[in-house]
Amino acid sequence: MSKIPKTPQEIFPEIVEDLKGIYGAALQSVILYGSGARGEYVAGKSDINFLVVLADDAADDLEKVLSFVPKWKKRAVATPFFITKALIGSSVDVYPVEFLNMKRHYQVVHGEDVLRDLVFEKRALRLQCERELKGKLMLLRTRFLETADKAENLQRLMAASITAFLSVFNALLTLKGREMPHGRREIVAAVAGIYGIDAAPFLRCIDLREGKKGLSLEDLKTIFQSYTAEIQKLIKAVDGLEP
């Protein structure tokens, strides 16, 4: 029976050996990112995320990986993100938020450090932040209508959604030239102070994410209304930033 590793580092030799066996010299890099790289991995709860960089002529040859994915999942490894170095270079202006978040916390497990020299243009970063905030707000409202007016469903929705907003918050701090604090609550507080929004509903969502229970449906609805109102204020602030 496959065991869940206590640390992401325990799985490194196995993953590299598997990928080398599949791709040989076409395997250019394996990079750990996400909670494992941030030091926030919790065995049995967290996934282990890898960026796998392949040579251009091997990028479409994914069929060989299919039989390994179930094995990796039993070891808490999420399906790796396969990409080429050229595609990273041409995608930084389209998906700067994703690559910025990877670059903040990562560990090279094998091969070349393809993230080290990435540079992010603030115009592209601001545009994606605005797009992401608006898209996530629309999705949040849609998901609210699917909660069936049940407290547990609304609580689950807000707990899940805060992670997506935190990923954008990291980029919002970069836009203002600020260093990213380490903790979730500190990130929220920093963004709230810089962009003039109320941190309280975001912090309440973090409470829910961390397992706080016992709130009534009416209490949750009140938090939700404040949550969406502050997101709208943040969107307005980002929209008004100098290009």
Partners of 30 in the β-ladder: 52, 110
Q: What is the pLDDT of residue 243?
A: 62
Q: What is the pLDDT of residue 1?
A: 45
Q: Where in the chain is the domain with CATH 3.30.460.10?
A: 8-111
Q: Per the structure block, which two tokens stand in for 226?
A: 């404040």
CATH superfamily of 122-239: Nucleotidyltransferases  domain 2 (1.20.120.330)
CATH number for the segment(s) 8-111: 3.30.460.10
pLDDT, one tens digit for every residue, the chain (243 residues):
468 999 999 999 999 999 999 999 999 999 999 999 989 899 998 999 999 999 998 888 899 999 999 999 999 999 999 999 999 999 999 999 999 999 989 999 999 999 999 999 999 999 999 999 999 999 999 999 999 999 999 999 999 999 999 989 999 999 999 988 888 999 999 999 999 999 999 999 999 999 898 899 999 999 999 999 999 999 999 999 876
What beta strand segments (E) does the chain contain?
A: 27-33, 49-54, 81-84, 106-111
In this structure, are residues 51 and 77 in contact, taking their beta carbons and an 8 Å threshold?
A: no
Measure the CA–CA gap between 166 and 221, rounded to whole angstroms.
21
Q: What is the pLDDT of residue 61?
A: 85
Q: Where in the chain is the domain with CATH 1.20.120.330?
A: 122-239
Q: What is the pLDDT of residue 235?
A: 97
In this structure, are residues 188 and 206 in contact, taking their beta carbons and an 8 Å threshold?
A: yes
Indicate the pTM of the whole model.
0.85
For helices 184-195 and 151-175, the axis angle rounded to 10 degrees is 60
In this structure, are residues 104 and 85 in contact, taking their beta carbons and an 8 Å threshold?
A: no
Q: What is the DSSP string of 145-163?
A: TTSTT-HHHHHHHHHHHHH
